[in-house]
Amino acid sequence: MSQDTDWSERARSAIRGTVQDPVLSRLLERSNLTAAQFETVLVDQLGADLAEKPLTREEITHLRRAGRKTSRGAFNRTLQQARTNIAEAVYTVLLLGYGGLLESPSLAPFLEASERLRSKTEQLREAARGDPNAYRSLVNSLLEDLERATDALRGKERDA
């Protein structure tokens, strides 16, 4: 295998592993990014690190979607849409903070959730080492708890 193929396979494998993570997939379903937008931002921001070499824009476009060629125009449009959605999400968080709503008891559990979620899934992965079914079960339980909390935030339980 040539060195040129090595970097792209390493990078694609890392991207595939990230995108297929069950926690990330569930969070993505509830986010304001599409899967293509998330993958595009991931490739744009981390592609060179994952490939362990500087990449041209042309090479970056080849890392998305299991190596199927994406035109630079399509890649750039998707990237711009993702950046717009991310900026809007950041402004939403800033708005909630500025308006004093981040201190609200209903939002307090979410302030630390992403950090705790990452560390908790790592702990679960270690605890269920060698037993993928146990890991999936533990992660599903964690995600169900998160969904119940977000449903409560959206008032689903209260309005039902």
**DSSP assignments along 54-72, one per residue:** ---HHHHHHHSGGG----H
Say what the pTM is: 0.72
Which is higher by pLDDT, 130 or 114? 130
Helix (H, G, I), strand (E, B) or coil at 127: helix
Q: Per the structure block, which two tokens stand in for 68? A: 């199927």
pLDDT bucket at 5, cuts 50 / 70 / 90: low
Q: Outline where the chain has alpha helix (H).
A: 3-19, 22-30, 35-51, 57-63, 72-98, 108-111, 113-127, 132-154, 156-159
Cα dist. 27→38, 73, 85, 113, 124 in Å?
11, 27, 15, 12, 17
Question: Could you tell me which residues come within 8 angstroms of residue 151 by beta carbon, excluding any fewer than 6 positions away?
Answer: 157
Task: Please write the tens of the pLDDT for every residue from 37-70.
Answer: 999 999 998 888 888 888 888 888 888 765 567 8
* Predicted pLDDT of residue 39: 92
- What pLDDT, on a 0 to 100 scale, did the predictor assign at position 89? 92
**What does the buried/exposed string (b/e) look like for 49-64 if buried means 16 or more CB atoms within 10 Å of the residue's CB?**
ebbeeebeeebbbbbb
d(CA 66, CA 149): 34
Given this model, what pLDDT does residue 159 score?
47
